[in-house]
Structures are given as C-alpha cells and as structure tokens.
Chain A
Amino acid sequence: MSNTNFTRRGLLKTSAVAGAGLAVPTIFTGDVWADAHSGYLNAPQGSTVTLGFNVPQSGPYADEGADELRAYELAVEHLNGGGDGGMMGTFSSKALEGNGILGKKVEYVTGDTQTKSDAARASAKSMIEKDGAIMITGGSSSGVAVAVQGLCQEAGIIFMAGLTHSNDTTGKDKKANGFRHFFNGYMSAAALAPVLAARYGTDRTAYHLTADYTWGWTQQESIQAATEALGWQTANNVLTPLATTDFSSYVAPVLNSGADVLVLNHYGGNMVNSLTSAVQFGLREKQVNGKDFEIVVPLYSRLMAKGAGANVKGIFGSTNWHWSLPDEGSQAFVKSFGTKYGFPPSQAAHTVYCQTLLYADAAQRAGTFNPCGIAEALEGFEFDGLGNGPVLYRAEDHQCFKDVLVVKGKDNPTSEFDLLEIVEITPRAQVEYAVDHPMFAGGDLGTCNPGA
C-alpha cells in the first residue's frame, strides 16, 4: 500500500512553480524590465517618482547635510529639465533626457538622520513606508550608512550611499541593494602613503589617534598598513571616544612617545578639535629624531577644514573631489551649484549629486525602477564626465573605483573656500584592490531584494 499523496493536479502545480523559479535568472535580463512598473516595492504608479534624501539636518554634521540637500535639489532640478543641466551635459551616458526618470517627474522627501543610526533607520523607514520612496540616499557617517544600507536591503529599496568612507560599507557590510560612489579608507591610504614617504622620508615613526568606531578603525588599519609597507613604524594607536571634545589628554603623551608623525584618524568636530590641540601643544614646531614633527589628516573635508582655521596649513590628507578640479564635469557642477547658492560645493555635495544622477541613469537604461534592474545596470558600469575621470562601479562589491585626490592645507588661501590645494591626483590603478582583500573580507553581497 502506498503512502504517497501525489495527485496529478498537485504534480502540475509543483512543476509550474518550479519551472517559474528556474526561469527567474533569465527573466531578469535586458528588455524584460522595459514595462516593469510593478512587482517591486513602491513601484511608481502615477506621473511622478519619489526619491528619499536622508541627510543629517540636525546634530554635528548638519552643515554637511545641508550641503548634500542643496546638491540633491540641484540634481532633481536638472533631472526634471530645469537649470543649466549641470553634469548631465558632461556625463558620458546620454540616457537621461531631462524629462524626469523614465518620463516620470522626480519628486523628493527628506529625512533627518541626526547622525544617529537609529534615527537614520527610522527616517528611512518612514520615507519608504509612508512616502513611498523608491530609493534612499544620503548620510555623512559610515555608522549611519551601514545601518541604513542594511534596512534598505531588508526592505527591498536601492540605497545610494552619501559620504561614507569606512572600508566596511562595501567590505564586510556590503549589500546587494547598496552602492557607494565615495572613496574609502583603503583608497585614501593607498594614495596618501607614497606622497607622505616622498615628502617626509621612509624613516618615520607614526603615532595614531583614532576615532573609536567603524570608520576610524578601518581608516587607521589602512593608513598604518600603507605607511608601514613604505618603511614607517607605528609607535602607538590610541582609540578616542567619538564624544571627546578636549583632546589635550590624548595629544600630551605624543610629545615624548618617540614618534615624529601624528596621524589624526578623525573626522568632523573630532578632527577640528584634535588638530587644534596638536597645534596648540606646539607639535608642528617640534623636532624629533632630527626631523620636523609632522601631522597628517587622512580624510579631509573643506567644510571641516574651515572649522580648524589656520591650523590646516601645510597638512596633508586626501579627498574624494574638490571644486578647483579643472575637468569639464567638475567645472559644470561648480558653475551650476555656485550660481544657485553663491559658494562652491563640498565633496559631500558632489558625491550625492553624482549618486542621484547615477541612479536615474541606471533606471533609464534598465527601463524600470525595479531595484534588481537598477542593480544590474549599475554593476560593472563604466562612466566618465562626473568630475573624477573614468570610473567603474565594480559589480562584486558595489564600490566605485576612480582617481583619488591628495591635498594639502593651503598656506595662503585667497578666500574662505580656498582652503585646500591639490598636491596629486592619484590614478585609479594605484588605489584598486582585490575583492577578497583582507581589509574587506567577510560579509556577503547577497542577492538583490525587490521588496515584493
């Protein structure tokens, strides 16, 4: 006597489901996306599409968030055919037509991350669930970016990261729905270390002060490895809590540590305060081991450099982009932004503007807002004309690879914006790394989630 419950009708149903499942990989290709305005979360049904700009509007990075918001508004204006078009005119891809995205007018909602992971997740969730945002973008902190990227992956929404520099964002915390245009700690170190060795020599001993969170850890690991590979030694690495305001207790021990270079793996207010303390303690006038003492800030931001005032003069660091770049794309963006707002854009503004255009272009090329279609269009995408030279969006980790700028605090600034000078444009090949590089190991990109 048989115990099986197979029936002819049941077998047919099972076969149909299995067949559909096996067919999935071939469905997600080419023109199949063309009319696909359904089957994924928040598929736009009317004549508009809503993007969610999640930036710090309060808290310590509010000024950076405000600059990002200006760039987003400019990007939306350009996508909808307004203004002078900015970098849409110089972008190598010509898919965008100035009539929105896929013919739908672009609208946007904003959220306040407060530079707090929980607040950022809550505002992103609200924009997805209540406002129907089809894409979330923004942020000025790696902790926030990693948190929101995870949320977008779970929800089935594309996340176009803003200013996030931790290796982890496209390393151990990478996600299939997340994409980063900004560079990372490894790239900063790979570009900066040879310049430091050329200027200061290879016989140097470095003392690191490091912000105690994901970005600080990966930045420190990267710059230590890159400088040690060129002959430097590391005297000490001291982790400093993010909430520290007076760094005198951390700077004082540097004086007699035997180190002749202080590396400040700090960003934002931390960088301003630690650099101010270091300069006050006379480190820049000090001589150790017969050499002038030097200070290095691996990640620079013009907005933050402004806070440190004259203390940044002559100090080396790296940056993702700078408004003084002479290429056609950069100048088009500076003209567009400067004319509208009266001052040049920051690197944060640049990266989020690029991300918005890249998302829109990917949707246009894929013919759909389906996150899986957009991910496929972005993966391995090579482009130019957005201010960083030829760029690759690597498929394996969703990290952009492009030239990196090594900069120095300007000795004689001519204006309040003229704080950094470009020392070297490090070619992309010098900052590239393998997908399985130990600093990016762990984690899994996974598969794209359309959310429905």
Chain B
Amino acid sequence: MDAFILQLLNGLDKGSAYALIALGLTLIFGTLGVVNFAHGALFMIGAFCSVTLSRILTLSYETVDETQKDFLGNPLVVKTPYVEKWFGPETGAAIIDWAVPLAILFAIPVMIFVGYVMERGLIKHFYKRPHADQILVTFGLAIVLQEVIKYFYGANPIPTPAPGAFTGSFDFGVLLGFDPNAIIYPYWRLVYFFFAGIVISAVFGFLQFTTFGMVVRAGMADRETVGLLGINIDKRFTIMFGIAAAVAGLAGVMYTPINSPNYHMGMDFLVLSFVVVVVGGMGSLPGAVLAGFMLGILESFASMNWIKDIVPGIDQIIIYLVAIIILLTRPRGLMGRKGVMED
C-alpha cells in the first residue's frame, strides 16, 4: 500500500510536467493550427531562465586572499557576490537561495518575448503550409535552440537547488497511519504539483472568464467567422503563442531543482508530451491536462518492481501501449473534437 501511494504521488508529479507542456502545445495547436515541435525547447529555455537568474544573482567581485592558495599554488582569488555586498551577507545569501522562485518573475516576460519573436519571425510563415512542413521547421528550430544553449552553458547538467526552506521531505506516512518515513515525499515536488495546478487553473480561468479568452475560444472553434466579425484574431493568437511559451517556460523554471537542467531536457519531454496531446485529443485543453496526469500516474505504476518482474520493460512502453489502446477505442483521443486534424 505504501509503495502504491508513493508511486501515485510520483505520477501526479510527473503528470504535472506532462500536463503543463501538453497544455501549451494544445494552446498553440488549437489557436494557430501549428504542430510546434519546438515546444520542448521552450520548456528548456524556461529552465535556463532559472540558471541565468541564478548566475546573475551570483555575479561576484574578486579579492585576493594571500593566506590561501589556488590549485596552481598562486594566491587564491575569492569571489563574493555583489548582492551580498549590497544587501549584507545574510540577505544576499537568502536572495541567492531563492533564485528559482524569483526566476518565475524573470521568466514570464522573457518567455513571452521569446514566444512572440518565434511566432512573428518564423512560425507565422508556415500557417498555410502542411503539418509536415511545420514539424520539420519547428524541429529544426528546437535543435538550433538547444545548440545555442549548449554553446553558452555547456553540455553538463547545472545544479539549481530549491530554496533551503524546501529541502527535505514531507512524511505522508504519519498522516495516513503508517510508520514514520514509510511514505515520504520531497517538499519541492509537492510545490511543483501545486504550482502546476495554479498555472493550469489560471490558463483555464483566463480563457473562460475574460473577453480576450472568449474571443480566443471562439477563434479556436471557428476562426473565419470570428474574422468576419471584424476581430483581429491573428493578433490575439500571437499573444496566445506568447502565453503558451510562458506556460512551458514556467514548467521549466520550477523543474530545475527536480533535475539539474541541461540543453537536452526539452527533447526528453517533447515526444511524451505529443503522445499526451494525442491521447487527450488534439485541440482539447482539458484532454491534455487529463491525459498528462493519467499517463504520468500509469508510467509511475509501471515502474514498480513487481510489475516489471511480470512484464519486463513495461515501464518503457506503458505510455505508448496506452496511447495505442485509447486511439483504437477512441480515435479522437479522450476528449478530442470532431474535425480537428481530420481534413
């Protein structure tokens, strides 16, 4: 039972990341009709916003300490962050410690800008082109973006820890009547789950309860009619691209303490996220979220040792197996709409 609950928590956590990325993918596909293979790269750029802010906050001035030696035997050059000089050692250290949450504020404008530039500079030229062209150009863009990141940040993972207040684990076991330490779950992963819930709710609320969102939803349903009403739907769709980029970026920012970011992390999520979108139903936002959590949980359960003993390798194929079963029984996915990607 304790193993089951642990994997359920794991699944919710994985599902959070899948759902956030799939949500952004669906927003772009639903509004612009573009299959964006560069979406994983947006997740990765978000993570590197966190790394970048962390580096900005640790920009340092150098002093030479004659009493210590470096690896070549020369006097040691000691680096002290400017924030510690400006705000005092304790406050400065606290600001650096909270770099990841602070990166949310940094990433939102950066990601909206990146999304805007990407859409205006490249993707808008492919609206009328076949999906195969869109996939090729966005996949190429994804490779270019990750190589740019690798050039500036290197190929190795870069540690970006959570604030000290969120290190350690929460003991669910005690709450549920199990032995202490039987079911513990890292605080930051819980934070990630709740953060994903907030972002997903905000996106749905924005689309559901604002005039802007209403127009966008109308445009997703029937772009031509909305255009005939004299509404500049293209401009709104460009903004939606920026918002989708910000959602992917925020998912990346908050993911950095879970796995040290590297240039390839977007590709690791991309294929799975597309499967999530297809299983959820092309163009369906609730479908993307539902499928994200469902596949995350199933993937975690498939990693349990006794299940792998019965079906070796099931943890590697479970997502694709479920996708095949769902698409055979529900060809439009869990919540897919008629007419989407069927022309």
**A-B contact list, 30 entries, CB within 8 Å:** A59-B155, A60-B262, A63-B156, A245-B259, A246-B14, A246-B258, A246-B259, A248-B10, A248-B13, A248-B300, A249-B14, A249-B299, A253-B304, A255-B182, A256-B3, A269-B262, A273-B157, A276-B159, A277-B259, A280-B258, A281-B185, A282-B168, A282-B184, A285-B168, A304-B156, A324-B71, A335-B72, A338-B72, A414-B68, A415-B71
**Quick check: A339 and B258 within 8 Å, CB to CB?**
no
A246: chain B residues within 8 A (beta carbon): 14, 258-259
Assess whether B316 is interfacial by the CB under 8 Å rule: yes
Assess whether B169 is interfacial by the CB under 8 Å rule: yes
Q: Once the chains are docked, how many angstroms separate the CA of A285 from the CA of B76? A: 34
Q: Once the chains are docked, how many angstroms separate the CA of A343 from the CA of B154? A: 15
**Quick check: A253 and B3 within 8 Å, CB to CB?**
yes
B303: chain A residues within 8 A (beta carbon): 249-250, 253
Assess whether B189 is interfacial by the CB under 8 Å rule: yes
Q: Once the chains are docked, how many angstroms separate the CA of A243 from the CA of B169? A: 26
Assess whether A94 is interfacial by the CB under 8 Å rule: no
**Quick check: A414 and B156 within 8 Å, CB to CB?**
no
Assess whether B150 is interfacial by the CB under 8 Å rule: yes
Q: Once the chains are docked, how many angstroms separate the CA of A42 from the CA of B13? A: 56
Shortest Cβ distance from residue B295 to the other chain A in the assembled complex, whole angstroms: 13
B157: chain A residues within 8 A (beta carbon): 269, 272-273, 307-308
CB within 8 Å of B: which A280-333 residues? 280-282, 285-287, 303-304, 306-311, 323-324
**Quick check: B159 and A252 within 8 Å, CB to CB?**
no
**Quick check: A272 and B305 within 8 Å, CB to CB?**
no
Assuming A248-B13, A281-B169, what are 11 further A-B pairs, CB within 8 angstroms? A62-B150, A238-B305, A238-B308, A249-B10, A249-B300, A249-B315, A269-B156, A269-B157, A285-B168, A309-B159, A323-B71
Q: Once the chains are docked, how many angstroms separate the CA of A6 from the CA of B268? A: 70
Shortest Cβ distance from residue A271 to the other chain B in the assembled complex, whole angstroms: 10
Q: A280-B188, A282-B184, A334-B72 are in contact. Are A307 and B260 (CB under 8 A)?
A: yes
Render B305-332 as a binary contact track against A, CB cut-off 8 A, 1 for contact.
Answer: 1001000000110000000000000000
Closest to B316 in A: A241
Count how many chain A residues have C-beta atoms less than 8 Å from C-beta atoms of the other chain.
51
Binding site for A on B (CB under 8 A): 2-3, 6-7, 10, 13-14, 68, 70-72, 76, 150, 154-159, 161, 168-169, 181-186, 188-189, 258-260, 262, 264-265, 268, 299-300, 303-305, 308, 315-316
Q: Once the chains are docked, how many angstroms separate the CA of A324 from the CA of B259? A: 29
A281: chain B residues within 8 A (beta carbon): 169, 184-186
Closest to B6 in A: A252
Assess whether A417 is interfacial by the CB under 8 Å rule: yes
Closest to A304 in B: B156
Closest to A57 in B: B155
Q: Once the chains are docked, how many angstroms separate the CA of A339 from the CA of B181? A: 50
